[in-house]
Structure 1
């Protein structure tokens, strides 16, 4: 889904199934000292989502609310267009309310809303026919938001629920906001347009989560999980485009990050997203080694590389490195948490390699038992190692804060393994993660069977939003903030 500067007209971006194409590779690197824990840091709650109570609940259209009175051209009058009409009405109402305070002037309504069926004869928009275009987009010259009611929106609704089309249309309205507010320049990379629109989407969903949207509601638990899943689903294939590519929309990690900024900090933070801001934090890199397109197996060689990497990354933390074993050594009094169990009394991490290998298998849409990719498996191991880091710091291992600290430490380990082609950071050790690996971690964090954000008993923090946010905090800010920010 794209909106671009007027002179570039419209880009067509195909929906790409979340695929794990990254791998972990062994190449030369250089060591870096890990910063110590700061004396003070903003404390994060384990029971809320950006200040709202973390809870599951109904998400979707509010029952008993009359449909919006809004003109949609070429509509078939069906339920898909009804959902879309109510969505753009709610998003437009949101921007009418916050635009003046954010940008100092009134919000001008979008001139055209257009529905079409990509399998039909098509309509003319932006000088092109929509026939065969399974997409949703904003067209600046026509000041029009259009959507495919025949394929795209039904596919999203069937995969992620009725709020998925709302998210897509909120994103396209974000491009209309850019056009009105002048928050992007014509020569900005496309990824800046897209990241900012994802952020504006997050700001709108905060409005929905607070109960202020007329037609829709969303829970801060599984409801937001599904929306972040949509952003993970519609993303650039790992390693296929860099920061400046015309087709770059962002990988799953970057898109979810932008959404979270908008949800947590509001539209003013989104307006600050310029090229320098996005380039500073993006993980949208091309492959730098051909072999990275193949996931690695979980075997003794690569598990040893992971262990050595963790030892080096946390060498200055005062941690006694735990022993990592695959022999099924029991730990009396400790509940197993397959595929990896940390035994506090013996400082041992016991692994189920068969289950780790399943997790390391790239996802296959037709196989509900397929995994996430190799990095997701190695991150399970890192999560149990992170418990040893917490033990060394005298922190409890069995509360919800332990789950968030774990995610933060796994994120910090991941962040110092990136071979950054624009030289923003110096990687640690010899283990590297490739483009797409972090997306595998995000996918696992949004699942219900991961240890990446779990305490010693395998209990995950309830809200996927909080899990991803903690991982991102470690990835972007390093290990120093993890213990201070995620206190019991």
Structure 2
């Protein structure tokens, strides 16, 4: 189930504004919901709407139904039974007829859900869908509906019945990841076979992931919490897996083979500051900690201390972004003002992610690899993920707080800073999807994979 997308608390001019969201999923309709009394008749028809967001929702619903008619038999050998009801709820009309599984249309405000007992996909046509359309374009609407239809796929594959028998095997967060994965499967097909009114190129694919970021859990919710839907890293990862690997991988997800990365706060002090260190304290930790990590990958090399320029003139450093590697003296320089804006408006680990990428470049140069060129930027992104993965196991000192991975995902989707080489260039053929994928490879497989 998808909840409301909330407005950003601040804007960062150098980032895509729509990314800076602080929203969370909420549960209004549990999986065991029952239709209201009297029941709403199931119908495959969708009430025609003239507004652009409504038209996109209608077109997406039809396209998803058509897609799964072919995909379910192809992937699983099962015939697809059409979803009984797709309906747009008018949540701002107190007199509106309630949709299936809720007592009032207003209960659906800011929500979209699939109700298995009524076999219905329902969405808020007055608030949620127009807001998604405004922030992310048509694909924002499409990815949310594709997620809900993903839950209908689970029902048709018998997952609901299996969960009833063994709820420990199918916690909420796993079901949500599977639905995100199925959404990736469907949208990958729409990229190959476009749906009218739903452009889906690389930029739109990034926007779909940005929309999922907006539905991440509040920081501090753990994977074991009953209401957990996933943090940004886990949700985006599941979407990517569906896009690249197909429906069979989604169905094969289990609590044993699907690691979830969200966690509780480690201390009251960390919770009180929202998991964010002051910038200068953060930079001191990163200088020591990232230096130690990357220095360990090149034992004969002494990682540099952070500076504000070193031997390189500022104009030479500026193309790399808020942090830069200086080829002349091997140093890592930071633009404190630019990092401060990133720190304040996204979070401390967004800034740490950018700085770690420059240490990655410095390490490449120290080991004889060129810090210039597309391979350098790709390796820097992957090494940043490897460094981040190390912080999962840190028992003291600098370690990941809840929300840190979300901040890394946001900056990777919004900007190519981490993927820039020492000349400030990045691969124009790569987008946020690829950057997150490289980061994830390093995080899960370690520096040897970079």
Q: TM-score, normalised by structure 1?
A: 0.77
1:431 is paired with a residue whose SS is coil
What are the ranges of 5 or more consecutive residues in structure 1 without an aligned counterpart?
3-12, 21-69, 364-371, 419-425, 483-488
Give the equivalent residue in structure 2 for 1:477: 445
Quote the offset at 1:457 in angstroms.
2.0
Quote the offset at 1:335 in angstroms.
4.5
Give the equivalent residue in structure 1 for 2:211: 230
Q: Tell me if structure 2 keeps the 8 A contact 1:224–1:465.
A: yes
Q: 2:241 aligns with which of 261, 264, 270?
A: 261
- Check if 1:446 corresponds to 2:417: no
Give the equivalent residue in structure 1 for 2:226: 246
Q: Tell me if structure 1 keeps the 8 A contact 2:384–2:439.
A: yes
The 2-side partners of 1:147 and 1:164 are apart by: 13
Alpha-carbon distance change, 388 to 149 in structure 1, aligned in 2, over 3 angstroms = same
Deviates more, 1:264-273 or 1:283-292: 283-292
The 2-side partners of 1:411 and 1:173 are apart by: 32
- Check if 1:177 corresponds to 2:157: no
Q: 1:399 aligns with which of 373, 377, 392?
A: 373
1:284 is paired with a residue whose SS is coil
Alpha-carbon distance change, 16 to 194 in structure 1, aligned in 2, over 3 angstroms = farther
Q: 2:347 aligns with which of 359, 373, 381?
A: 373
1:452 is paired with a residue whose SS is helix
Quote the offset at 1:214 in angstroms.
5.7
The 2-side partners of 1:277 and 1:17 are apart by: 34
Give the equivalent residue in structure 1 for 2:81: 108
The 2-side partners of 1:392 and 1:211 are apart by: 46
Give matches, 1:150-299, under 5 Å: 150-183=126-159, 185-186=162-163, 187=167, 188-211=170-193, 213=195, 216-220=198-202, 222-239=203-220, 241-278=221-258, 281-293=259-271, 294=273, 295-299=276-280
The 2-side partners of 1:404 and 1:110 are apart by: 42
Which protein, 1 or 2, shows the higher relative CO under an 8 Å CA cutoff with sep ≥ 6?
Answer: 1
Deviates more, 1:108-117 or 1:284-293: 284-293
The 2-side partners of 1:205 and 1:324 are apart by: 45
The 2-side partners of 1:379 and 1:199 are apart by: 26
Quote the offset at 1:403 in angstroms.
1.5
Q: Tell me if structure 1 keeps the 8 A contact 2:5–2:214.
A: yes
Residue-by-residue CA offset, 1:233-260 (whole Å, 9 max, x unaligned): 1111111x21122211111110000000
Give the equivalent residue in structure 2 for 1:15: 5
| More helix, by proportion | 2
Q: Tell me if structure 1 keeps the 8 A contact 2:5–2:132.
A: no
The 2-side partners of 1:234 and 1:17 are apart by: 12
Give the equivalent residue in structure 1 for 2:332: 349
Alpha-carbon distance change, 403 to 174 in structure 1, aligned in 2, over 3 angstroms = same
The 2-side partners of 1:129 and 1:199 are apart by: 31
Q: Tell me if structure 1 keeps the 8 A contact 2:44–2:83.
A: no
Count, aligned residues: 401
Residue-by-residue CA offset, 1:185-207 (whole Å, 9 max, x unaligned): 32121111100000000011110
Quote the offset at 1:429 in angstroms.
6.5
Quote the offset at 1:212 in angstroms.
5.1
Give matches, 1:456-467, under 5 Å: 456-461=422-427, 462-467=430-435
Coordinate RMSD, CA, aligned: 2.2
Deviates more, 1:96-105 or 1:138-147: 96-105
Q: Tell me if structure 2 keeps the 8 A contact 1:90–1:214.
A: no
The 2-side partners of 1:429 and 1:160 are apart by: 39
Following TM superposition, the consecutive aligned residue runs of length 4 or more in structure 1 with deviations greater than 6 angstroms are none
2:305 is paired with a residue whose SS is strand
The 2-side partners of 1:182 and 1:111 are apart by: 17
Deviates more, 1:125-134 or 1:328-337: 328-337
Alpha-carbon distance change, 19 to 409 in structure 1, aligned in 2, over 3 angstroms = farther
Give the equivalent residue in structure 2 for 1:386: 360
Residue-by-residue CA offset, 1:254-310 (whole Å, 9 max, x unaligned): 0000000000101111111122223xx2112122222223222221x4322212211
Give the equivalent residue in structure 2 for 1:58: none
Q: Tell me if structure 1 keeps the 8 A contact 2:183–2:242.
A: yes
1:142 is paired with a residue whose SS is coil
Quote the offset at 1:463 in angstroms.
1.0
Give the equivalent residue in structure 1 for 2:391: 417
Quote the offset at 1:407 in angstroms.
1.0
Q: 2:64 aligns with which of 88, 91, 107?
A: 91
1:345 is paired with a residue whose SS is coil
Q: Tell me if structure 2 keeps the 8 A contact 1:18–1:234.
A: no
Q: Tell me if structure 1 keeps the 8 A contact 2:294–2:359.
A: no
The 2-side partners of 1:198 and 1:164 are apart by: 13
